[in-house]
């Protein structure tokens, strides 16, 4: 095992270890394509993610993480065969300890506390659909809204090509950049990092770009990333222009789900609703008191109205001899490059400035 910190490449190259024999190590991209089961596994290939590689029993594995002052926060679980996942977690923990670092696995889809040295804290849920069942489970009111918006006929829905997105002068690229700028200006929070960075053009050929056009301009977009090992998709970006007609996002979601159904896709998710479900009393207090910064309840309500087939519990895993509150703080530090407290202060200043029209 060795520490390797390099950004995933658009065209992965092979890395060679310095073991007794020159074994060729699969790249992070290759391992994600082979073993990426978690919804956010593709995000292991983000430009600023670091990677640790391991091999045991002739099985290669990878852990994608970001480093804070005192911890290594992992994006989801290990990129490894399912039967080796716990072993890789334990090995990564030991390797991190040699560097004096704590380990946190953020957004795992399994509670591993009964079969490992890690505790699992329920931090939210993610909605999951079978596109072939869509729109079963959706409330009649929402189905009627989508039908009326479709019958109105003033919104054109389509799947944009990667070539359009990579052409810096194309209408789609310029339209998305405008929407992204509007979205950033409307945020109530200071900039964040880790799994919520806005970089939709990285590895564009691997993504799916569903766009809605109104009067010749892009007004909303849903950007999906692959969940390779499930043959599924994760909608990791939802963008809407302030001028978009009502129900544009819902109409676009309907189009995306029907497109996936036609392609035989059986798994689609809209990602984590933080602190939804039954988190601890302490996390419930955070949700209620921080809702003015992040609309936890509104996000969950929006996803709920689209009638998911099930809600998948999501966990933060950390060594069971450590305190959960410390693990939560470390996870927050991964999302807030200047630290959670500074992030809260910057966000409050930003909100105050926007109230004053600055």
State the DSSP string of 41-83. Answer: GGGGG-TT-EEEEEEETTEEEEEEEEE-SSEEEEESS-BS-GG
- pLDDT by residue for the chain (358 residues), tens digit each? 445 443 333 333 333 333 333 457 789 999 999 999 999 999 999 988 999 999 877 789 999 999 998 999 999 999 999 999 999 999 999 999 999 999 999 999 999 999 999 999 999 999 999 999 999 989 999 999 999 989 988 999 999 999 999 999 999 999 999 998 887 776 666 556 677 777 889 999 999 999 999 988 999 999 999 999 999 999 999 999 988 998 899 999 999 999 999 999 999 999 899 888 866 777 777 777 766 666 778 888 999 999 999 999 999 999 999 999 999 989 988 888 766 666 666 666 666 666 666 5
Q: CA 256, 187, 66, 126 torsion: positive or negative? A: negative
Beta bridge partners of residue 85, listed in sequence order: none
Up-side HSE of residue 221: CA atoms within 13 Å toward CB?
Answer: 27
Q: What is the pLDDT of residues 285-311, one digit of tens each?
A: 777 776 666 677 888 899 999 999 999
Domain ranges in the chain?
A: 128-278+295-309
Homologous superfamily of the 128-278+295-309 domain (CATH): Gcn5-related N-acetyltransferase (GNAT) (3.40.630.30)
Q: What is d(CA 87, CA 77) in angstroms, rounded to the nearest whole number?
A: 12
Do the beta carbons of residue 111 and residue 119 sit within 8 Å?
no
CA distances from 97 to 1, 69, 71, 90, 194 (A): 14, 14, 10, 11, 22
Q: What is d(CA 220, CA 297) in angstroms, rounded to the nearest whole number?
A: 22
Q: What is d(CA 99, CA 110) in angstroms, rounded to the nearest whole number?
A: 27
Q: What is the pLDDT of residues 41-79, one digit of tens each?
A: 999 999 889 999 998 777 899 999 999 989 999 999 999
* Nearby residues of 156 by Cβ (< 8 Å), 6 or more positions away: 212, 213, 214
Q: What is d(CA 221, CA 212) in angstroms, rounded to the nearest whole number?
A: 6
């Amino acid at each position: 095992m060795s520490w390797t910190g390099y950004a995933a490449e658009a065209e992965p190259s092979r890395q060679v270890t310095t073991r007794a024999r020159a074994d060729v190590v699969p790249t992070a991209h290759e391992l994600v394509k082979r073993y990426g089961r978690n919804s956010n596994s593709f995000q292991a290939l983000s430009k600023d993610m670091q990677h640790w590689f391991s091999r045991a029993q002739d099985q290669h594995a990878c852990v994608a993480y970001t480093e804070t002052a005192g911890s290594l926060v992992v994006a989801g679980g290990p990129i490894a065969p399912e039967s080796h996942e716990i072993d890789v977690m334990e090995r990564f923990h030991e390797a991190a300890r040699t560097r004096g670092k704590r380990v946190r696995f953020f957004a795992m889809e399994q509670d591993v506390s009964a079969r490992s040295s890690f505790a699992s804290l329920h931090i939210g849920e993610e909605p999951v659909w079978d596109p072939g069942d869509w729109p079963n489970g959706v409330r009649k009111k929402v189905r009627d809204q989508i039908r009326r918006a479709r019958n109105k006929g003033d919104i054109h829905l389509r799947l944009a090509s990667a070539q359009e997105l990579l052409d810096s002068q194309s209408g789609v690229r310029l339209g998305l950049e405008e929407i992204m700028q509007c979205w950033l200006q409307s945020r109530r929070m200071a900039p964040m990092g880790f799994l919520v960075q806005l970089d939709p053009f990285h590895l564009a050929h691997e993504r799916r770009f569903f766009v809605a056009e109104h009067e010749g301009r892009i007004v909303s977009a849903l950007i999906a990333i692959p969940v390779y090992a499930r043959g599924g998709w994760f909608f990791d970006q939802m963008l809407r222009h302030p001028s978009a007609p009502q129900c544009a996002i819902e109409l676009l979601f309907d189009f995306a789900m029907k497109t996936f159904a036609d392609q035989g896709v059986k798994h689609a998710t809209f990602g984590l609703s933080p602190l939804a479900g039954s988190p601890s009393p302490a996390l419930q207090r955070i949700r209620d008191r921080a809702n003015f910064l992040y609309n936890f309840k509104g996000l969950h309500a929006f996803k709920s109205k689209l009638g998911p087939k099930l809600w998948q519990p999501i966990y933060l895993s950390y060594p069971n001899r450590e305190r959960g509150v410390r693990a939560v703080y470390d996870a927050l530090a991964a999302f807030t490059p200047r630290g959670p407290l500074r992030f809260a202060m910057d966000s409050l200043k930003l909100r105050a400035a926007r109230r004053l029209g600055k």
